[in-house]
Amino acid sequence: MSGAEPSQPRPLDVVILAAGQGTRMKSRRPKMLHEVLGRPMVAWSVRLARELGARDIVVVTGHGAQQVEEALRESGVRFARQEQQLGTGHAFLTATQQLQGGADVLLLCGDSPMIPLSTLEALIAAHRGGQNALTVLTGELPDAAGYGRIIRGEGGEVLRIVEEKAATPAERAVREFNSGVYVMDPAAPALAAHIGNDNPAGEYYITDLLALYREEGARVAAFKIADPGEVMGANDRVQLAELEAIMRRRVNEAHMRAGVTLQDPASTFIHDTVKIGRDSFVAAGVHLLGGCVLGEGVQIGPYSIIQDSALGDGAQIGPHCIVTGSTLAPGGVVHAHSVVQGAQMASGSDAGPFARLRPGTVLEPGVHVGNFVETKNAHLASGVKAGHLAYLGDVQIGPETNIGAGTIIANYDGLNKHRTQIGAGVFVGSNSTLVAPRVLGDAAFVAAGSTLTADVPEGAMAVARGQQRNVAGWSRRYWRGLGEQVAQKLPWLAAWLSRQP
């Protein structure tokens, strides 16, 4: 007969304190919404709570509550409004009204996004393994000014946490500080109701929970981390920039260790949500933002910005490109100074320089989109060439068709968009306008300079332009009619007119 099954650990609830005003930010935006590496500070804490498998996540809001709650609306967290900021103990008690009970409670600060998941996992494991009632995350600094101090007994046990405002000179000299992160057992919500405000600031401190637990005879412990930078917060924009630099370095180093070459990590910005395949090369000044997914062997040129895009194996992005919401198939190429938005490029197709591929664009293999060509909701079949100065909107173009320089698909009538269908092997001459909706059959030919207002059958040539005629002497009569204006503004033309009969 087998032994008893091991008991399951209690569930974990997470409370995130995000009610502070952050006056040192000098901003109309709530402190918690200032971003670190593309994500609001408080959202980093929410993410950590999710990764820990938290049952309930409660965010305490106060200053700018509506903005903070709106920013986190899609995250599935609960909110507790702290209408008056009366201290961390009061904020925690406000949050406990949203908790189901019966769980360990992790308390996080919304302005400390640097804590690694591994540190929190180790903290929780130490708390549960040591059968602690409360475990506080601590660190050590040469000068811990601004932090609460950890006061230990002769045996190393944690006796109390002293806020700096209430600390004696000897206590201020203590180097071990309180990070503001705690794990507590299910008794914490009930004990929090007994926190008082008999202190110089008249506030309710969450640190007073320690004394309440000790009065109950419960075990209180500290979990000390080696790197105090892990609990670094941001109270002003200088510290915010420091957080950004640290987080960016972490993300970049992780990619490099996974087999990605970053030419200049110091100038490269990569959101933590980006995935990059090995043997990819990212040049200096590149920004990879949002939900980008890069395959293996991708090449990104200097100072390009790629956002919410998927680049297949071997895709190449030239310098100074902007690619947003796009899909580039394996082997696809985007040249310098191009903008790609919501487009799909198959292997062997290319665009630019100075091309703009807007949402709904699909380039099949072998397509060439050249200088100053703009596409929108356009499907170009294999072998289509549009080399220069064209606008191709709401159009389906068949294989091996050539679009001449200056061609415009006039898809908008001032009220509605209309679609054009161009067959295979069509030749559209330079400076032509196709007034949508139009259908051009296979192998049709459009003479240069034509404006089409009717369909072109298969194999036919369309000529839609006025017949040229030259009117002799017109220029002389016109300019002489302007008299003194020509003499004053165009002396070279006045001299020419004086020589004409």
Least Cα distance to 191 among 161, 215, 160 occurs for 215
> Sorting pLDDT into bands at 50, 70 and 90, what band is 363?
confident
Distance, CA of 433 to CA of 417 (rounded, Å): 15
**Residue 329: predicted pLDDT:** 65
Pair (291, 431) in one structural domain: yes
Provide the domain limits for residue 368: 253-462
Pair (204, 280) in one structural domain: no
Pair (454, 332) in one structural domain: yes
Pair (149, 266) in one structural domain: no
Domain C-terminal end among 231, 262, 289: 231
**Residue 34: predicted pLDDT:** 95
> Sorting pLDDT into bands at 50, 70 and 90, what band is 347?
low
Residue that is written with structure tokens 């197709």 in the block: 349
Q: Is the pLDDT of residue 1 over 60?
A: no
What does the block give as tokens for 331? 């082997």
Pair (207, 315) in one structural domain: no
The answer to whether 404 and 428 are in contact (CB under 8 A) is yes
Pair (194, 270) in one structural domain: no
Instruction: Give mean pLDDT, residues 297-302.
Output: 90
Q: Which residues, other chains included, contact 388 with Cβ-Cβ below 8 Å and sequence gap of 6+?
A: 370, 371, 372, 373, 405, 406
Q: What is the CATH number of the domain that holds 41?
A: 3.90.550.10
Position 501 in a domain? no
Question: Which residue in 63, 337, 388, 418 is the catalytic one?
Answer: 388
Position 496 in a domain? no
Q: Is the pLDDT of residue 3 over 50?
A: no
What does the block give as tokens for 416? 């509605």
The answer to whether 93 and 102 are in contact (CB under 8 A) is no
Position 370 in a domain? yes
Residue that is written with structure tokens 């968009």 in the block: 417
Q: What is the pLDDT of residues 38-80, one digit of tens each?
A: 999 999 999 999 999 999 999 999 999 999 999 999 999 999 9
What SS3 state is found at 96?
helix
The answer to whether 82 and 90 are in contact (CB under 8 A) is yes
What does the block give as tokens for 379? 């499907």
Q: Is the pLDDT of residue 326 over 60?
A: yes
Longest dimension (CA), the chain: 123
Q: What is the pLDDT of residues 404-441, one digit of tens each?
A: 999 999 999 988 999 999 999 999 999 999 999 999 99
Pairing outcome for strands 134-140 and 176-184: antiparallel
SS3 content of the chain, % helix, strand, coil (to 5): 25, 30, 45
The residue type of 460 is A
Looking at the structure of the chain, the number of domains it has is: 2
Pair (65, 149) in one structural domain: yes
Distance, CA of 165 to CA of 197 (rounded, Å): 13
> Sorting pLDDT into bands at 50, 70 and 90, what band is 154?
confident
Position 483 in a domain? no
Asked which of 260-274, 369-383, 465-479 is least confident by mean pLDDT, the reply is 465-479
**Residue 343: predicted pLDDT:** 66
The answer to whether 103 and 55 are in contact (CB under 8 A) is yes
Position 469 in a domain? no
Instruction: Give mean pLDDT, residues 136-149.
Output: 93
Distance, CA of 253 to CA of 255 (rounded, Å): 5
Position 2 in a domain? no
Annotated catalytic residue 320:
no
What SS3 state is found at 462?
strand
Distance, CA of 175 to CA of 465 (rounded, Å): 86
Least Cα distance to 138 among 148, 153, 128 occurs for 148
Mean pLDDT, the chain, as a whole number? 90
> Sorting pLDDT into bands at 50, 70 and 90, what band is 84?
confident
Pair (320, 389) in one structural domain: yes
Q: E strand or H helix at 345, and its extent?
A: strand 344-345
Residue that is written with structure tokens 């393994």 in the block: 129
Measured in whole angstroms, the distance separating CA 262 from the mean position of its chain's CA atoms is 19
What does the block give as tokens for 445? 């030919």
Pair (258, 385) in one structural domain: yes
Instruction: Give mean pLDDT, residues 86-100.
Output: 93
Q: Which residues, other chains included, contact 7 with Cβ-Cβ below 8 Å and sequence gap of 6+?
A: none
DSSP state letters, 422-448 = E-TT-EE-TT-EEESS-EE-TT-EE-T
Q: Is the pLDDT of residue 323 over 80?
A: no
Position 6 in a domain? no
Q: Kindly state the DSSP code that residue 228 receives in the 8-state scheme.
A: G
Instruction: Give mean pLDDT, residues 355-377.
Output: 87
Q: What is the pLDDT of residues 394-412, one digit of tens each?
A: 999 999 999 999 999 999 9
Q: Which of 18-27, 320-329, 352-361 has the highest mean pLDDT?
A: 18-27
Q: What is the CATH number of the domain that holds 404?
A: 2.160.10.10
Distance, CA of 306 to CA of 292 (rounded, Å): 7
Distance, CA of 261 to CA of 283 (rounded, Å): 8
Q: Kindly state the DSSP code that residue 30 receives in the 8-state scheme.
A: -
Cα–Cα distances (Å) from 485 to 480, 497, 500, in that order, read 10, 13, 18
Q: What is the pLDDT of residues 107-118, one digit of tens each?
A: 999 999 889 999
Q: Is the pLDDT of residue 87 over 60?
A: yes
Instruction: Give mean pLDDT, residues 478-492.
Output: 85
> Sorting pLDDT into bands at 50, 70 and 90, what band is 2?
very low
**Residue 155: predicted pLDDT:** 81
The answer to whether 300 and 315 are in contact (CB under 8 A) is no
Say whether the peptide bond before residue 330 is cis (omega within 30 degrees of 0).
no
Point out which residues pair with 137 in neighbouring strands.
223
pTM for the whole structure: 0.75
Pair (363, 333) in one structural domain: yes
Point out which residues pair with 422 in neighbouring strands.
397, 440
What does the block give as tokens for 332? 């696809």
Position 5 in a domain? no
Which is higher by pLDDT, 352 or 242? Answer: 242
Pair (47, 107) in one structural domain: yes
Domain C-terminal end among 199, 231, 263: 231
> Sorting pLDDT into bands at 50, 70 and 90, what band is 318?
confident
Q: E strand or H helix at 253, and its extent?
A: helix 237-257
Q: Kindly state the DSSP code that residue 311 receives in the 8-state scheme.
A: E
Return the axis-axis angle of helices 41-51 and 117-129, rounded to nearest 10°.
50
Cα–Cα distances (Å) from 140 to 148, 178, 227, 400, in that order, read 11, 9, 8, 69
Pair (154, 258) in one structural domain: no
